[in-house]
Structure 1
Amino acid sequence: MIAPVRRIAVVMLFVFALASTMPVRAAPAGGTLRIGIDVDAGTLDPRLANDTTARRVIEQVYDGLVELDAQLQPRPALAESWTQVSPTVWVFKLRKNVRFHDGTPLTADDVVFTYQTILDPGLRAPLRGLVTPISKIEAVDPETVRFTLSAPYAPLLKYVDGSQAGGIVSRRAVERLGAEYASNPVGTGAYKFVSWQRNSRILLEANPTSWRGRPSLNQIIFNIIPDNTTRAAAVESGDVDLIHSPLSPQDVRRLRTVSRVSVTQMTGLGHTYLNINQSDPILRDLRVRRALAHLIPQATIVRQIYQEMDRPANSILLPAWSGIYTEDITQPGHDIARAKALLAEAGWTDSNRDGILDRGGQNLALVVRTHSEDPNRIQVVELLISILRSSGIDARAEITEFPALVGALIAGTHQVALLGWLGLVDPDRGMYNQFHSKGSQNWERYTNPRVDALLDEGRQKADPQERARIYREVARIITADLPYYILTYQGYIVVVNRRVQGFVPIPSGSFRSLWQTSVP
């Protein structure tokens, strides 16, 4: 029925139009904020970004049509209002007189160009799967954009946020700069790009003509400091002003005693997980995957390595997904005897008594990968390797820099990989791309027609109870099939020098409050 939707749309239009006319809090300009970051960005093109550092920079340089608040509710950004005309048609009204950092005006054509290029398979946008339900996007006039969807799409507003798949690029700048645009970004955000010294730092400066008003800071410097302890020492000494996860528990404990900084810890919007390649000849056997899960000492890892800064995970569902999360879905528990029985059932025995399980003349060999920038994950992998070897598996670790790890995942050359997801603002964000057979981040090569159908259905349902039913069923299937083993629900830790004013950490990890942050 269209009429009820239209009545709701009128209310939405009024509320968001009112919000967009409310005065923005003025903040005194001043200071440089120095942020310590663990890895360099891969790109500063928001359509191609696939790492946390890039996202932190991008949300300063770019804006989306909307932005999510701390409760993950959309509020106006480049779109001052929006209307859901029908279940499959949304109309966004752009703010007037917004300009890109190069002085050119923002128009509906830039919005159309941004989403059309994301949807183009040739661009290989990592988050393309978030917007594939958009079947048509049109510039109604220079300040109005119409989205037509192939079906109702519940999480649309969360995905046109600038830190998800929605940072609006300048069509003129992209066409002028070509491949150079990725390292010379042009956005509408509160801060403008100045320079990027690879593996060293990224420098931004205030955009005095931002539609938000002049930002408080003069400059933001993202300093690339890969080693967690070195990064912690930098904020302790005052060499940087802000750092955030990943951090070692030992460093966090020490920083809590340092008077110059404040430490904030909260449950984040992410998890740490083992990606288990379903196309691997050994791991395609569910009995082997279940045996692997039974060998994981989850409680020990959380207690001894993460020192309870993360929480043990029971399923793919995040506790932050209120009304959807449940403790009733559980993964295989730590049970070495059961693991050995499953491996024997799968035909893996020590036929030649050399201490290594074998089958048909082949040893049971597994490589567990992770990335060098996170010492906690390295410790987890080292512990897992020890347990696997003691259980008769010829196991070894492979530790590489993060881009190489992601490259192996994309190529499907891995067996097991330990990594994590952040910014999972919606169950669809944490499942569709990862588990749908057409998902752009289905690096484990998982295929299940029932999961595909449920994930497609979940995108179309706005009713909270229906969504809970759907995503809980997906979680039960994932727990049974084990393309992932969810190790922990990530804690999110931010350490800030007390002289920094106005910075508000939120569970999503967004740094969007930096436009109101100052350093006297």
Structure 2
Amino acid sequence: MLLPRTVLAAAMVAVCGLTAGCFTGIAAGGGTRLRVALPVSPTQSMSPRGDDGVLLTRLGIAETLVQLDAEGEPKPLLAEHWTRPSPTTWSFRLRRGVRFHDGTTLTAAHAADALNRAAAASSVPVALKDVGLTAEAVDELNLEVSTSVPDLALPQRLSSANLVVLAPIAYQGDRVSPARAGTGPFVLPDLNVANGIALAPFEGYWAGPSRLSGVDVRFVPDGANRGTALRAGEVDVAVALPLGGLADTVVEQVRLPRTVSLLLNTSRAPFGQPAARLAAQEAVDPAALARGVFHGRADVARGLFRSAPPWLITPSGASGSGLKVVLATYDDRAELPEVASTVAESLRGRGFQVEQVVRRYSQLEPDLLAGNFDAVVVSRPYVLDAGDPAAYLAGDFTCTGGFNLARLCDPVVDAAVAAALETYDVPSRRAAAVRAQNRLLATNAVIPLVHERAFIGRSPRVDGLATDPHERLLITRATTLR
């Protein structure tokens, strides 16, 4: 057996934090068990098909074939290396000796099955949307992945947390259960995760076992409570601390490839008219938002991408006098309602009449996708799903984009995005994505406001947290508790 007796016999006891609230089903912290507070609880029983996929990778439970470095370059993970023998075919060589938590040895057939199931799922992961992916095992360790059209960013796509490779026991019809089915340094024992998760170390991990004796995760929606629990010593790590909760705390600060933007609905009045979009663009002040709402702990966005040259704006004095606008945002991210209120005041100062709507994202999304608002303040990562800025532009701002909240359909933008998607080497592809971004910004359908940072609080006893700008890694085998 690969699971040590201590894993199978781990005690599951009730714990009631004085500041973070009661929760049950979590092993008590002690010794070198790391205690972590996360803001969002699982919504799909830890299935990798949706947002829970990120929990699998951030907590070291499951892994993908490819990972991204800090610059967004694809790097080996379960796959040691890869080549592109034809425009629509990629060949991946898997690591030898990787084992799943149930003792099964990883083969190319397992990886092919995981990818094919994801591509055929009723809800196809964003990273594979419109790719036409199929995978086939060539032999024990060699995997061939094909796409219906040439896809130069396939390695980046395969870094998506929705595409973790799990053991055969995980797949039960349409249901996917990662319990004892991952390849990471920590074992998810079961799907009883509503009140928290107790992870055990995996002694058979291919890169060597962790020095932690386990990880206990609790879900604390309120950011202030997460910070208080950290300062009180109830947890060792608190993720996504609010800006007001950083005092007297050891904080890892991570500049994210994530942009807060104002999206304008181009499919109807008033922002169907370029003059109204121009007036809105000139009304907002990203620098004031960075200084005020974010207390200087966000970076002014001069474009959608951090690394892009600043997008220069020439004032025109356009007015929104008398135009009525419904502006929406969601409160899952603490600063967005205040951003929306500040933007609303700026629009009113330019003559717009603004009504605001704030809901939880899950309640807001159907109306967002239906185009039922005139403007939306959103926070979007531009490499999270497909690991590729060009793919992000295609999904969010082209005529066929699946998350086109601005409802933009501009042939010039589509052509520029298509050119970026057809560019192979990473530096040239990034340059092409910036050119496409500039075409997009010229429409004023999207107004970048700030680039966000993540704030991860930790005890001074914690070392080796993964400060991943792509928000896919947090606890690894290198994480220690002194």
Tell me how far apart the structure 1 counterparts of residues 31 and 204 of structure 2 sit (CA, whole Å). 16
Aligned partners of 1:279 and 1:445 also within 8 Å: yes
* Residue identity in the other structure for 2:196: R
Q: Any unmatched runs of 5+ in structure 2?
A: 1-29
Check whether the contact 2:390–2:429 (CA below 8 A) recurs between aligned residues.
Answer: no
Of 383, 390, 396, the match for 1:434: 396
Tell whether 2:198 aligns with 1:203: yes
How far off is 1:199 after superposition? 6.2
The answer as to 2:293 corresponding to 1:299 is: no
Q: Is structure 2 residue 21 aligned with structure 1 residue 62?
A: no
Q: Deviations over 1:258-309 (max 9, x none)?
A: 2xx4223242221111232333443322222222222212221111111221
Alignment-derived partner of residue 381 in structure 1: 340
C-alpha separation between the residues in 2 aligned to 1:91 and 1:126?
22
- Alpha-carbon contact 2:82-2:92 (below 8 Å) kept: yes
Q: Tell me, in whole angstroms, the C-alpha distance in 2 between the residues paired with 1:465 and 1:160.
A: 19
Structure 1 residue matching 2:171: 3-state secondary structure: helix
Cα distance in 2 between the residues matched to 1:477 and 1:76: 34
Amino acid corresponding to residue 326 of structure 1 in structure 2:
P
Do structure 1's residue 190 and structure 2's residue 173 form an aligned pair? no
SS state of the match for residue 154, structure 1? coil
Q: Which residue of 1 aligns with 2:456?
A: 494
One-letter code aligned to 2:411 = P
**Alignment pair present for 1:330 and 2:307:** no
**For residue 139 of structure 2, what is the aligned residue in structure 1?**
141
- TM (norm. structure 1) is 0.77
Matches within 5 A, 1:447-458: 447-458=409-420
Quick one: structure 1 residues 46 and 483, their matched pair in 2 at CA, closer, same or farther if it must change by over 3 Å?
farther
Q: Tell me, what secondary structure is at the counterpart of 1:232?
A: helix
Distance 1:111 1:71, change over 3 A: same
Deviation of the 1:140 alpha carbon: 1.3
* SS of structure 1 residue aligned to 2:101: coil
Q: 2:435 aligns with which of 473, 478, 491?
A: 473
CA distance in 2, matches of 1:417, 1:222: 33
- Report the secondary structure of 1:375's partner residue: coil
The residue aligned with 2:166 is 169
Instruction: Identify if the C-alpha distance between structure 1 residues 199 and 481 changes in structure 2 by more than 3 Å, giving closer, same or farther.
Output: farther
**Alignment match of 2:373 (pick from 390, 393, 414):** 414
Residue of structure 1 aligned with 2:447, choices 449, 462, 485:
485
CA contact (8 A) 1:276 1:484 kept: yes
Q: Which residue of 1 aligns with 2:78?
A: 78
Residues 403/216 of structure 1: CA separation in 2 closer, same or farther (3 Å cut): farther
Is 1:276 aligned to residue 276 of structure 2? no
User: 1:219 maps to which residue?
Assistant: 214
CA drift of 1:499 comes to 0.5
**Cα-to-partner distance string for 1:182-224 (whole Å, 9 max, x where unaligned):** 6858322222223566664333322222222222223223322
| 8 A contact 2:127–2:158 mirrored in 1 | no
CA distance in 1, matches of 2:76, 2:270: 50
Contact 1:330–1:479, Cα closer than 8 Å, also in 2: no
SS of the residue corresponding to residue 100 of structure 1 reads coil
Structure-2 separation of matches of 1:465 and 1:76: 19
Q: Does 1:42 align with 2:43?
A: yes
Give SS of 1:35's match. strand
Q: In the TM superposition, what are the counterparts of 1:300-379 in structure 2 within 5 Å? A: 300-319=288-307, 325-327=308-310, 329-330=311-312, 338-340=317-319, 343=320, 357=322, 364-379=323-338
CA contact (8 A) 1:195 1:204 kept: no
User: Alpha carbon RMSD of aligned pairs, Å?
Assistant: 3.0
State the alpha-carbon separation in 1 of the partners of residues 131 and 334 from structure 2. 39
Q: Hey, what's the Cα distance between the residues in 2 that align with 1:203 and 1:378?
A: 34
Distance 2:43 2:219 in 1: 12
State how far apart, in whole Å, the 1-side matches of 2:391 and 2:252 are: 25
For the residue of structure 2 that corresponds to 1:481, the secondary structure is coil
With over 3 angstroms needed to count, the CA separation of the structure-2 counterparts of 1:121 and 1:445, relative to structure 1, is farther
Are the structure 2 counterparts of residues 515 and 277 from structure 1 closer, same or farther at C-alpha, using a change threshold of 3 Å?
farther
**Cα displacement (A) at 1:46:** 6.0
* Residues 87-98 of structure 1 mapped to structure 2, 5 A cutoff: 87-98=87-98
TM-aligned CA distance change 1:121 to 1:419, over 3 Å: same
CA contact (8 A) 1:63 1:168 kept: yes
Name the CA distance, whole Å, in 2 between partners of 1:158 and 1:104: 27
TM superposition shift of 1:395: 1.9
1:240 aligned partner: 235
The alignment partner of 1:123 has SS state of coil
The 1:374–1:144 alpha-carbon spacing in structure 2 relative to 1, beyond 3 Å, is same
SS in 1 for 2:189: strand
Q: Distance in 1 between the 2:342 and 2:441 partners?
A: 23
User: Structure 1, unaligned stretches of length 5 or more?
Assistant: 1-28, 320-324, 345-356, 358-363
Helix, strand or coil for the counterpart of 1:306?
Answer: coil
Judge conservation of contact 2:69–2:75 (CA < 8 Å) in 1. yes
Higher percent of residues as helix = 1
In structure 1, what is the Cα distance between the partners aligned to 2:241 and 2:400? 30
Alignment partners' CA distance in 2, 1:188 and 1:224: 24
CA distance 1:371–1:33, shift in 2 (3 Å) = farther
What letter corresponds to residue 492 of structure 1 in structure 2?
A
Corresponding residue for residue 357 of structure 2? 398
Identity of aligned residues (%): 22
Deviation at 1:97, TM superposition (A): 3.9
Distance in 1 between residues matched to 2:447 and 2:122, nearest whole Å: 32
